[in-house]
């Protein structure tokens, strides 16, 4: 059943008002030209961003701003669950961080991110008490399996593979359950490019097809899992992979894989933010809400790039090339 368009009219109207406070290109230019980190933070503060007590904590600044946007969706959307695919990967990150911190005595609170569908306190308590059954599906079984694997073998790479694969599968399931075509498109790009990156890294480090059988998720329609696996068994593995990728809808981005993985990440982000832009002025339907959240994510990625550069003294021209496309 499709998602009713009319019931989103009030939420979309609110999103349009909220988006007026989003950073625009001239705001990014002002951030870039700020003479210091402190001056850049002041620009964000003047723009309405809340600031933590320690303004040197970039992660905290950005987490607070993204949490504010997600909180607005929770308050405004008729059914916030249909948007869970936008944040589910944070839950899997937190599960991974929680188990690894438990086994290495690191402070998990420093590694959790948000927003998430599973409450951070619940995730932390379930992992620290080894009561994984407290977690909802699919996290309960996944946490138990990953913990068992790490205790028995210490194989961190395979633990990552298990979590990442489950994450991508759950994203696909959630996107299809939403009934929103745009959500399915967004998650298709995210999961397909995740498989592309996994195949590229595996072949580059000498992994075989058997490894990719475990590492690559299923459910993509825009990329062939079987062909990615076959490339790992070819004589000229990397050449075969790049030749295959050149025939896909991702060819204009995959050319960056060998020379600049960061540029490929930027290409993916820009491709994903471009999809909801045609819906930006639509008064109905859930699509503008997707654009709203992805737009805030793009804004925050740009703020992270610029603030990190200011802290580390990187030149403005280098930083400008890394900026993501805005939702405008």
**Helix 88-104 vs helix 139-153: angle between axes, to the nearest 10 degrees?**
30
Domain of 288? 7-77+280-328
Q: Is 107 part of any domain?
A: no
Global confidence as pTM: 0.93
Q: Is 21 part of any domain?
A: yes
Long-range contacts of residues 276-282, Cβ cutoff 8 Å, at least 24 apart: 276/182, 276/186, 276/327, 277/327, 277/328, 279/182, 280/327, 282/12
Question: Percentage of the chain with pLDDT > 90?
Answer: 89
Q: Look-up: residue for tokens 């320690």? A: 54
Task: Give the mean model confidence (pLDDT) for residues 192-221.
Answer: 95
Give the whole-angstrom CA distance, residue 256 versus residue 67.
Answer: 32
Q: Is 258 part of any domain?
A: no
Query: Both tokens of residue 24?
Result: 């625009």
Query: Both tokens of residue 191?
Result: 């999961």
Q: Who's near 199: CB < 8 A, 6+ residues apart?
A: 212, 215, 216, 228, 229, 231, 232, 241
Up-side HSE of residue 22: CA atoms within 13 Å toward CB?
A: 26
Burial of residue 1 (CB within 10 Å: 0-12, 13-18, 19+) is: exposed
Summarised one tens digit per residue, pLDDT across range 79-106 is 999 999 999 999 999 999 999 999 998 8
Question: Could you give the number of structural domains in the chain?
Answer: 1
Q: Look-up: residue for tokens 């832009």? A: 277
Q: Is 146 part of any domain?
A: no
Give the whole-angstrom CA distance, residue 159 versus residue 99.
Answer: 10
Query: Both tokens of residue 129?
Result: 């008490």
Summarised one tens digit per residue, pLDDT across range 151-200 is 999 999 999 999 999 999 999 999 999 999 999 999 999 999 999 999 99
Give the whole-angstrom CA distance, residue 79 versus residue 286.
Answer: 10
Closest Cα partner for 214 from 294, 145, 159? Answer: 159
Q: Is 214 part of any domain?
A: no
Give the whole-angstrom CA distance, residue 134 versus residue 125.
Answer: 9
The whole-chain average pLDDT of the chain stands at 94
Summarised one tens digit per residue, pLDDT across range 32-47 is 999 999 999 999 999 9
46: domain CATH number? 1.10.132
Q: Is 222 part of any domain?
A: no
């Amino acid at each position: 059943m499709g998602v009713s368009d009319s019931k989103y009219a009030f939420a979309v109207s609110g999103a349009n008002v909220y988006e007026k406070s989003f950073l625009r290109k001239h705001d990014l230019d002002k951030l870039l030209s700020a003479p210091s980190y402190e001056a850049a933070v002041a620009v964000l503060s003047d723009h309405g961003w809340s600031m933590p007590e320690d303004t040197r904590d970039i992660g905290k600044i950005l987490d607070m701003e993204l949490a504010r946007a997600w909180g607005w969706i929770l308050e405004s959307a008729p059914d916030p669950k249909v948007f869970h695919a936008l944040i589910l990967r944070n839950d899997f990150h937190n599960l991974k961080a929680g188990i690894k911190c438990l086994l290495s005595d690191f402070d998990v609170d420093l590694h959790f991110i948000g927003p998430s569908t599973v409450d951070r306190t619940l995730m932390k308590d379930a992992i620290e008490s080894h009561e994984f059954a407290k977690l909802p599906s699919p996290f309960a079984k996944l946490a138990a399996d990953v913990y068992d694997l790490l205790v028995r073998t210490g194989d961190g790479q395979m633990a990552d593979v298990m979590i990442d694969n489950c994450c991508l599968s759950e994203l696909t399931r959630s996107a299809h359950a939403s009934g929103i075509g745009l959500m399915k498109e967004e998650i298709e790009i995210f999961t397909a490019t995740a498989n592309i990156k996994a195949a590229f890294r595996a072949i580059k480090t000498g992994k075989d097809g058997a490894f990719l059988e475990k590492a690559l998720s299923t459910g993509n329609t825009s990329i062939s899992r079987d062909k990615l696996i076959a490339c790992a068994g070819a004589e000229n593995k990397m050449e075969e992979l790049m030749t295959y990728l050149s025939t896909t809808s991702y060819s204009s981005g995959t050319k960056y894989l060998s020379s600049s993985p960061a540029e490929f990440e930027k290409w993916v982000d820009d491709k994903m933010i471009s999809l909801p832009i045609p819906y930006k002025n639509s008064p109905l339907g859930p699509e503008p809400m997707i654009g709203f959240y992805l737009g805030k994510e793009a804004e925050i990625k740009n703020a992270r790039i610029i603030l990190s550069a200011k802290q580390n003294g990187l030149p403005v021209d280098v930083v400008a090339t890394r900026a993501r496309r805005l939702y405008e």
